Amino acid sequence: MKFILILACLALFVAHIHAQRCRGRLAPNRKACTGGRNVGHCRGRNCARNANRNMWWYDTTDRTCKRMSYRGCGGNNNRYCTRAECERRCRRRAPTTAAPTTAAPTTAAPTTAAPTTAAPITAAPVTAAPTTAAPTTAAPTAAPPA
């Protein structure tokens, strides 16, 4: 009786794990964020088994992840099981228009450029953080007697 109960629990566990698997998933090293939307085809024997109506692809023109229905065979490497996975893999690889630059810190007063639009632009004053300097004429302190 215990054997049948253990076997039934094992079968339920395996069925649960299999149901959690994303059909149509690619190997992690094959995923790419380019190539556009490609839903694949359903002409093979095993295509229906790999079909997934809730897949995501990365649109490089909009720089967003969009939903698609994968047919089970073929397609390209631009498909993901969840939107979060798509965004995690592709948003950081999106092309940037300019490289970030870093400016050296200055202590000069802020300047205000002439506005190029009708709305006036004002700059808030920048205040430097107070610094504490070590005293230069302090006498050395003697250690208390033991």
What's the angle, vertex CA 117, arms to CA 116 and CA 120, rounded to 5?
95
pTM of the entire predicted model: 0.48
Q: Give the DSSP H/E element, type plus range, for residue 66.
A: strand 64-70
The amino acid at residue 124 is A
- The percent of residues above 70 in pLDDT, for the chain, comes to 55
- The mean pLDDT value for 57-79 works out to 92
pLDDT given for residue 66 in this prediction: 95
Q: Which of 15-19, 36-40, 68-72 has the lowest mean pLDDT?
A: 15-19
pLDDT in tens, 91-141: 765 454 444 555 555 555 555 555 555 555 555 555 555 555 555 555 556
Of all helices (H) and strands (E), which one includes residue 126? none
Residue that is written with structure tokens 């979060």 in the block = 84
CATH class of 29-95: few secondary structures
How is 43-56 classified by DSSP, letter by letter? -SSSHHHH-EEEEE
